[in-house]
Amino acid sequence: MNRTWFLVFSFLVAIVLFFIIFAFYSCTGTTCFGVVGKPEYVNAFIKGQLVKHSFTSHDLQRERTLNLEGKDVIVYLHMQKTGGATFGRHLVHNLDVDPPCKCMKGVKKCVCLTKNNQVWLFSRHSVGWVCGLHADWTELKSCVDPWFQRIDKGGRKDRRYHYITMLRDPVKRFFSEWQHVNRGATWAGARLHCNGRDATLEEVPFCFHGEDWEGVTFSEFVNCKSNLAFNRMTRMLGNLSRVNCYNTTGLDEDLRSKTMVESAKENLLDFAFFGILEEQSKSQFLFEHTLGIRFINALEQRENTHVAKLKMTKEMVNLVIRTNQQDIELYQFAKDLFYQRVANMEKRLGYSVQEYFHLYRDHQGGLNSREEESDLEDDSGMGHGGGGDEKKLPHYPGESGASQSNHSQ
Ligand SMILES: *[C@@H]1O[C@H](CO)[C@@H](O)[C@H](O)[C@H]1NC(C)=O
Ligand SMILES: *[C@@H]1O[C@H](CO)[C@@H](O)[C@H](O)[C@H]1NC(C)=O
């Protein structure tokens, strides 16, 4: 009798082991039993839940005291359609720094210098698209320091760069990008620079012929394989050198996508700060306590974006989810990290985000940023079919004109 049970038991154990080993082998890469992507992230995303991670206290506690008169520089990585232009404008118009940026009415770019005439903010609204239109992590990492070395000649010997960025719900972001392109924007001027050269047209063909893609339908938009809107946040935050840049021959698709997601997560962990578009107050709370710089007026949560008014069918949403799984994993990771950082900060400070705004932070009265900007304006500078702001770059000492190249040869 005992023996029979033993045999049955062993048999069950063998079956379980077999499945564990089978799962282990078939789940390398991002494919698992034929399901692309990490299903737990996508499932949680669909249910509006988060996958819990265990972060170290080093990951959660990132306070630093910036000395902008010294070596510290803020580098803003601005991803398309993440509410980044609004945030970028807050950085130049609304930060409590001394001296404040000098801005002129009607001029998009401000002059942000320290008392010693050093650039302390690297962003489109301060220095312009110095590293190319909407430069990504890979481009910034190879361009920011050489640029500063030129303009700091005779001044600062070295700098400490503090990267910051904003993330957004990837489904909303994708729809927003489609709408933006539908209205005639292209970002064709992006260089897509990596490993010392720009991506070629063979590597990343344009999705449209002629000037732009104005009027593009949703199905055309999602059917263009080389559309950079897919998983844009992952591509822009990951180290593209790790996957041979835009050259996709010779690297397994799953491995490529897995490597990029992992790299984007690693880099994001290394950022001094990132915010979440959907969480303006918490983002502000975290920014102010992490970097020790306050905004003058509180950031506003905007709900009436173009996307909010868009009619999205279930099929459309499902298609966007299916084609943006890297971004969904990245965003789910980022959001969990973000909320844990906020909770950790609240616990250490002894007050909540709400209490911070209602009791502790100086009450400013009204909010002044009433500018009703549309999603179109949100990324205006991008130009339509052209190089956007690149042409309006100022010339800093030691700099011989801005790079104008497109990824178009
Ligand atoms: C990006 O990845 C490449 C290849 O793994 C590595 O050599 C390089 O140092 C990385 N870049 C940065 C800025 O870390
Ligand atoms: C792309 O990568 C493959 C394999 O690594 C290589 O043979 C090919 O020359 C590369 N193409 C370009 C344009 O660099």
- 21 token code pair: 């080993």
Q: Identify the pLDDT of residue 12.
A: 73
Helix runs in 27-159, H state only: 39-47, 57-60, 84-93, 137-151
Distance of CA 29 from the midpoint of ligand 2 (Å): 22
- If one residue of 141, 241, 266 were mutated to test the ligand 1 pocket, choosing by the most ligand atoms within 8 A of its CB, it would be 241
> Per-residue pLDDT averaged across 362-391, rounded?
39
Which atom of ligand 1 is found nearest the CA of 142?
13
- Res 262: pLDDT: 97
- The answer to whether the CB of 48 is under 6 A from ligand 2 is no
Q: How far apart are CA 325 and CA 327, in angstroms?
A: 5
Which of 13-17, 161-165, 225-229, 327-331 has the least mean pLDDT? 13-17
Looking at residue 3, what is its pLDDT? 74
Going from the Cα of 385 to the center of ligand 2, the distance in angstroms, rounded, reads 29
Asked if residue 141 has its Cβ within 6 Å of ligand 1, the reply is yes
Report the chain's mean pLDDT, rounded to a whole number: 85
Quote the ligand 1 centre to 141 CA distance (angstroms): 9
The ligand placed nearest to the CA atom of residue 248 is: 2
- Residue 365, classed as helix, strand or coil, is coil
Q: Is the pLDDT of residue 257 over 80?
A: yes
Highest average pLDDT, of 12-26, 202-216, 331-345, 366-380, comes from 331-345
The per-residue pLDDT for range 29-45, each reduced to its tens digit, is 444 444 455 789 999 99
CA–CA distance, 134 with 382 (Å, rounded to integer): 8
pLDDT for position 21? 52
pTM over 0.85: no
Q: What is the pLDDT of residue 366?
A: 41
In this prediction, residue 398 carries a pLDDT of 36
Find the mean pLDDT for residues 42-54: 95
We find that the CATH architecture of domain 64-365 is: 3-Layer(aba) Sandwich (3.40)
Percent of the chain with pLDDT over 90: 70
Nearest CA to ligand 2 atom 14: 247
- Comparing 157 with 374, the larger pLDDT belongs to 157
% of the chain exceeding 70 in pLDDT: 82
**Confidence check: pLDDT of 305 > 80:** no
**What residues are annotated to the active site?**
134
What spacing in Å lies between the alpha carbon of 265 and ligand 2's midpoint?
27
Helix count (H) and strand count (E) of the chain? Answer: 15, 8
What DSSP state is assigned to residue 356? I
Average pLDDT on 171-181 reads 96
The pLDDT-based confidence of 8 (bands split at 50, 70, 90) is: confident
- Mind listing the pLDDT tens digit for each residue in 194-249? 999 999 999 999 999 988 999 999 999 999 999 999 999 999 999 999 999 999 99
Q: Is 247 in the pocket of ligand 2 (CB under 6 A)?
A: yes
Q: Where are the domains of the chain?
A: 64-365
Q: Radius of gyration of the chain from Cα atoms?
A: 23
* Higher local confidence (pLDDT), 262 or 37: 262
Residue 60 has pLDDT above 50, yes or no: yes
For residues 256 and 240, what is the distance between their CA atoms, to the nearest angstrom?
Answer: 10
Q: Averaged over 278-293, what is the pLDDT? A: 96
Average pLDDT over residues 268-279: 97
For residue 200, the ligand 2 atom closest to its alpha carbon is 13
Tell me, what's the pLDDT at 18? Answer: 63
Q: Is 196 in the pocket of ligand 2 (CB under 6 A)?
A: no
As a three-state string, the secondary structure of 279-340 is CHHHHHHHHHHHHCCCECCCCCCCCCCHHHHCCCCHHHHHHHHHHCHHHHHHHHHHHHHHHH
256 falls in which pLDDT band (50, 70, 90)?
very high
Residue 393: closest CA among 117, 185, 126: 126
CA distance 261 to 325: 10
Distance CA 134, CA 215 (A): 23
Residue 17's pLDDT band, with cuts at 50, 70 and 90, is: low
Pocket lining: 138 vs ligand 1, CB cutoff 6 Å: no
Question: Is there an atom of ligand 2 within 6 Å of 210 CB?
Answer: no
Q: From the CA of 255, how far away is ligand 2's center (Å)?
A: 17
pLDDT tops 90 at residue 391: no
If you take atom 5 of ligand 2, which residue's CA is the nearest one?
250
Per-residue DSSP letter, 360: I
pLDDT confidence of 250, banded at 50, 70, 90?
confident
